[in-house]
């Protein structure tokens, strides 16, 4: 049986032969609001543990421009939900009661669905990770994880998706920019996630560049004159796109402190 380790992490363990599985084949979906802006990214959450799925849904809905349009608990439900909802992105657990999660992907492709897939699982086996890469997943996030871990990956995905949708290929340079993914500097115009400003990104970048050594989010916030929450969001985005390194400083108690250094 899977268990929750608080609401900040989402553990996942393989099922044993004596584990009972619900036979409910219903899928939780939301009525799509056609008034939502066209740049909304629709997400289907797939996880056999309904409590974990609820946490994932809550996490996703805290990140713009993402919205959860449905939740599925089995591979069969996931396939039907994609048929009905046509999500842009599927957050896919691998330990499902009826099928291994990666086997859902070829079923979706055979049905003509081109939605992206992000694996969220505790599966750490190298063969599984390689299999996920071969199936073309856009990211692979290990359980348990914190909200910031998922948000960073969602924001990176949104940047890359926007680049793919907007790109007009005139030559090899355009192709290279698309394949480079999120390696473009975070403060470059047009690459920031929705809700972030170029001005604040440049302020955080200058603060990091001129710092002696590393900075914590709190220290960066004080130097830049913004809130710690805002500073941490920009710093994590810089880390996601490769513009900042992160190291951990361990204290006497509590979680390690994340410290940032600008690259370049």
Find the mean pLDDT for residues 113-121. 96
Q: Is the pLDDT of residue 78 over 70?
A: yes
Q: Is 52 left (phi over 0), alpha (psi -120 to 50) or beta?
A: alpha
Residue reference for tokens 């599927």: 90
More confident residue, 5 or 204: 204
Residue whose structure tokens are 């960066």: 220
**Is residue 79 over pLDDT 60?**
yes
Per the listing, tokens 């004596």 go with 18
Please report which confidence band the pLDDT of residue 264 belongs to, taking 50, 70 and 90 as the band edges.
Answer: low
Confidence of residue 6 (pLDDT cuts 50, 70, 90): very low
* 4 or 167: which leads in pLDDT: 167
pTM of the predicted protein model: 0.59
Under a CB-based contact definition with an 8 Å cutoff, are residues 78 and 90 in contact? Answer: yes
């Amino acid at each position: 049986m899977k268990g929750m380790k608080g609401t900040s992490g989402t553990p996942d363990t393989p099922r044993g032969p004596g584990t009972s599985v619900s036979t409910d084949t219903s899928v939780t979906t939301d009525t799509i609001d056609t008034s939502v802006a066209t740049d909304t990214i629709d997400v289907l959450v797939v996880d056999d543990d309904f409590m974990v799925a609820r946490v994932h849904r809550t996490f996703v809905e805290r990140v713009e421009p993402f919205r959860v349009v449905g939740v599925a608990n089995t591979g069969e439900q996931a396939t039907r939900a994609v048929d009905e909802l046509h999500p842009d992105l599927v957050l896919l657990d691998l330990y499902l009661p009826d099928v291994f999660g990666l086997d859902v992907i070829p079923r979706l492709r055979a049905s003509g669905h081109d939605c992206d897939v992000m694996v969220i699982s505790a599966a750490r086996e190298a063969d599984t990770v390689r299999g996920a890469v071969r199936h073309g997943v856009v990211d692979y996030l290990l359980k348990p994880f914190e909200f910031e871990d998922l948000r960073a990956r969602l924001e990176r995905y949104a940047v890359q998706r926007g680049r793919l949708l907007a790109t007009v290929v005139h030559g090899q340079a355009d192709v290279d920019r698309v394949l480079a993914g999120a390696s473009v500097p975070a403060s470059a115009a047009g690459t920031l996630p929705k809700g972030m400003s170029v001005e604040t990104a440049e302020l955080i970048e200058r603060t990091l560049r001129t710092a002696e050594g590393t900075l914590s989010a709190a220290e960066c916030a004080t130097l830049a004159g913004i809130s710690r929450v805002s500073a941490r969001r920009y710093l994590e985005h810089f880390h996601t796109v490769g513009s900042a390194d992160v190291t951990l400083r361990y204290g006497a108690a509590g979680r390690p402190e994340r410290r940032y250094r600008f690259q370049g």
